[in-house]
Structure 1
């Protein structure tokens, strides 16, 4: 067994995420038998002393049948209506199923505001801490009933990665209708499953697609992004099929395991890198990218080639390279309107009051591992 799988098997605090396709069927709604099988696996792990937070999709899918909707709606208002019906059904099903093991569940509905705003982030952290201390199993979902396009997470895979860091989890297990990460379309017999991802180079050049179920919003693209986010922040990740939940939660000898980075980001640096909303972009030349990503240096005006967005000093911005890839994020020290006259200029050529870092190293998080 690899060290990553050993870490997942022995973890004392784990976030488990399950996708819509693993719990619901288009036209038929919630599949209670599959939900019970998942709860059986989670309850078994809890009985061995592990604290579990369950991030569960399925609210919209669970609301389709009661509302006589044959497929997932495209418009936001109908999605919210389905979620308002489905959340009740899903919460009731989990309460009944965990009740078979005398376990209490607590529903936690989040919008991205709850992790983007630092004060909300701490409140959510306190809620999870107390629920776990009281022996409850928190069941988390995006608050689809009130979330709008501007504030939604986009998928529960990203939400699970954010929650894993927020609660200080020792592991993240992503369960879906796919049994791991493949080097191509898993329906193609020529592709192979990747058992271990030790670093970013192991997934370079891999093309992944969306789920074919029609019920979820994520697919493999979001799962890979979530796994990279959590692993890069120091949390080992397992990607496996929901049908193999029992093995995933015992030996972890299934699916694809993502090794954790050597060090875990602080709560503030994780928030800055992965949770906070970006208000603009700073375009960097190759020298600045090297300084920021590899040498962990501050960003100076001389290394900036362009500015996008309408931001103020103190806002979070993305730092992008010449290929338009976001390589870091940070808190900018200037307003957007101040920067055009400064970019590309050496510090000694600037007025004394402007001879400061555009993004200080202490307020900067590289996103390339």
Structure 2
């Protein structure tokens, strides 16, 4: 088995908090300098690199005098705001030694949920890569609340991989890779060298949360690989403290766990829809509608919808569920939630009489529908 990294031109490299900090003592300047040196070597091989970096909260904790991670969300936000300054300062000075420019990009999942902002973010990142700049991405922890609690930069790395159609996502962590059991509890646990991203068995094997500094466990990495695979990106989960791990991966060495993507990938608009972590609303389908959507590849008609939840506008992404509550698809609604409520369980021929205008016959057209 060979590493997929040598043939991957555009890479997303995600580095976890434990690899950037000195056991809770703030950022490890020497470690960040080593990462910059390795990334500079990858750049010399013609690779485009986007860096997704944790570490802001850990640095902020040090600067503000916290000896353990605060539980209060506003204190976490304050740590993130203060620590982000130090994080970017160190990256900038480290890459300057190799005459490489860097750019700070702070994102939230809301930025990637809005189609216009999604396209703007994509255009900016691609232009930065074209100019030879290394974007350094972090979640905008000062304005979000739910993501800080889960240490979600693994998912952010996958979202960025989809955003710029990267060839591979490298997740560097404090574990050697994915094991078939928790190696901290089971000495017989075996490292999984190769698997298909999205294999349900991988999620069963993944453990719980990580260290006290970061909150991302192995499960978030497995789910990130599954998400990245939808746009055709392979994922490698590797031990970040292995000497020259990035350079060795680029040279073809099999390190850690390689989770390969299927050969195909979703078209850009459908990938954008599936990347929504939160949808604007929910619709529940009867058995007949589920059959037509999943098996026959048909559009979703109002007559097949039994229930509508949420407040959404025309053109927003909504989730489709079967009668058991399983999400089966997502799509762009042709109607607002208020209008959809009025036409559900009705034939398309009745829409004009009910609403007083001629709208689309479908609640979601099949061209705007993606199956899960």
Name the TM-score class by shorter chain: 0.7 to 0.9
Query: What does residue 83 of structure 1 align with?
Result: 80
Which stretch of structure 1 is more off in the superposition, 113-122 or 47-56?
113-122
Q: 1:271-286 to 2 correspondence within 5 Å?
A: 271-275=272-276, 277-286=278-287
Q: 1:92, 1:257 → 2: CA distance?
A: 32
Match of 2:26 in 1: 29
Instruction: Give, in angstroms, the shift of residue 315 of structure 1.
Output: 2.0
Residue 237 (structure 1) aligned with residue 235 (structure 2)? yes
189, 192, 198: which one aligns with 1:191: 189
1:97 matched to 2:105: no
**220-229 or 241-250, larger mean C-alpha shift:** 241-250
- Partner Cα separation in structure 1 for residue 46 and residue 360 of structure 2: 54
Matches within 5 A, 1:113-124: 113-124=110-121
Pairwise mapping of residues 332-347 of structure 1 onto structure 2 (< 5 A)? 332-340=333-341, 342-343=343-344
Change in CA separation of 1:205 and 1:61 when aligned onto 2, cut-off 3 Å: closer
Q: Give the deviation of 1:274 after TM superposition.
A: 0.6
1:342 and 1:148, CA in 2 relative to 1: closer, same or farther beyond 3 A?
same
Determine the structure 1 residue equivalent to 2:371: 366
| Cα distance, 1:88–1:199 mapped onto 2, change above 3 Å | closer
Structure 1 range deviating more: 154-163 or 226-235: 154-163
SS of 1:66 mapped into structure 2: helix
Q: Normalised by the size of structure 1, how large is the TM-score?
A: 0.88
SS at match of 2:206: coil
CA separation of 1:366 and 1:115: change in aligned 2, threshold 3 A: same
Aligned residue number for residue 316 of structure 1: 317
Change (3 A) 1:293 1:306: same
Which structure 1 residue ranges, 5 or more long, are not aligned?
A: none
**Which residue in 1 is equivalent to 2:104?**
107
| Distance apart, 1:294 and its partner CA | 4.8
Does the 8 Å CA contact 2:210/2:216 hold for their aligned counterparts? no
Q: Which moved more, 1:78-87 or 1:336-345?
A: 336-345
Distance 1:186 1:285, change over 3 A: farther
State whether structure 2 residue 361 is matched by structure 1 residue 356. Answer: yes
Question: What SS is found at the alignment partner of 2:160?
Answer: helix
Deviations 1:78-129 (A, max 9, x none): 1121112211211121122222322222111222332222222222222212
Note the aligned Cα RMSD (angstroms): 2.8
Q: 1:64 to 1:279 in 2, by over 3 A?
A: same
Aligned to 1:266: 267
In structure 2, the CA distance between the partners of 1:204 and 1:222, relative to structure 1 (3 Å rule), is: closer
Which whole-Å deviations, capped at 9, do the CAs of 1:55-83 have from their partners, x for residues lacking one?
10111111111211012222222112111
TM-score between the two structures when normalised by the length of structure 2:
0.87
**Distance of aligned partners of 1:120 and 1:235 in 2 relative to their CA distance in 1, 3 Å threshold:** same
Q: Indicate conservation of the 8 Å contact 1:111/1:152, yes or no.
A: no
Give 1:158 shift.
1.6
- 2:225 matched to 1:227? yes
Number of equivalences: 364
Distance 2:222 2:254 in 1: 19
Do the aligned partners of residues 233 and 288 (structure 1) sit closer, same or farther apart at CA in structure 2, a change above 3 Å counting?
farther
What is the DSSP-based 3-state SS (H/G/I as helix, E as strand, rest coil) of the residue aligned with 2:204? coil
* Alpha-carbon separation, structure 2, partners of 1:106 and 1:241: 26
Q: Distance in 1 between matches of 2:161 and 2:202?
A: 25
Contact 2:21–2:27 under 8 Å retained in 1:
yes
Using the alignment, how far apart are the partners of 1:275 and 1:152 within structure 2?
Answer: 19
Cα distance change, pair 312–191 in 1 and its aligned pair in 2 (3 A): same
Segments of 5+ residues of structure 2 without an aligned counterpart are none
CA contact (8 A) 1:315 1:332 kept: yes
Residue 51 of structure 1 and its aligned partner are, at CA, apart by 0.8
Query: Using the alignment, how far apart are the partners of 2:60 and 2:202 within structure 1?
Result: 38
Which residue of structure 1 aligns with residue 125 of structure 2? Answer: 128
